Amino acid sequence: MSVLPVYRWRLAPDGYATRRQLRAAGLRPGGQDVAAELQRPRRRRGPLVAYLYRIDHAKPVRPMTPGRWQALAKANVARRTCPECGCDVGYVIPTSLGMCVPCADAAQSAA
């Protein structure tokens, strides 16, 4: 198994949710593997760990209707489309970057 990305508590990237958060949104992990870990450091003990799942791989708890699938697909395409280069980059654009990773890299090296 590959090494999971680890994020600090409250600094989880967009597009990830814990099982409990998925459940609150009417979703379930849907057979996907854990995509990342959240760690909250604790004094004199090991960190508190939560497992994150990818929201775009999650499955609804209730069966989807064609209309709901369509709305979800539309929303996903919008969230994967980089406003800078206009490409569907295949992952949700991180709001912290506001653009896809290559665009953010280019913007950073240009600065």
Per CB under 5 A, residues contacting Zn ion are: 82, 84-85, 100, 103
Indicate the residue among 6 and 87 with the shorter CB distance to Zn ion: 87
Q: Within a 10 A sphere around the Cβ of 29, how many other Cβ atoms?
A: 21
Nearer to Zn ion, 61 or 101 (CB): 101
Q: Residue 52 or residue 103: which is nearer to Zn ion going by CB?
A: 103
Q: Annotate 56-100 with DSSP letters as a single string.
A: GG-EESSPPPHHHHHHHHHHHHHHHB-TTT--B-SSPPPTTTSS-
Q: How near is the Cβ of 111 to Zn ion at its closest, in Å?
A: 16
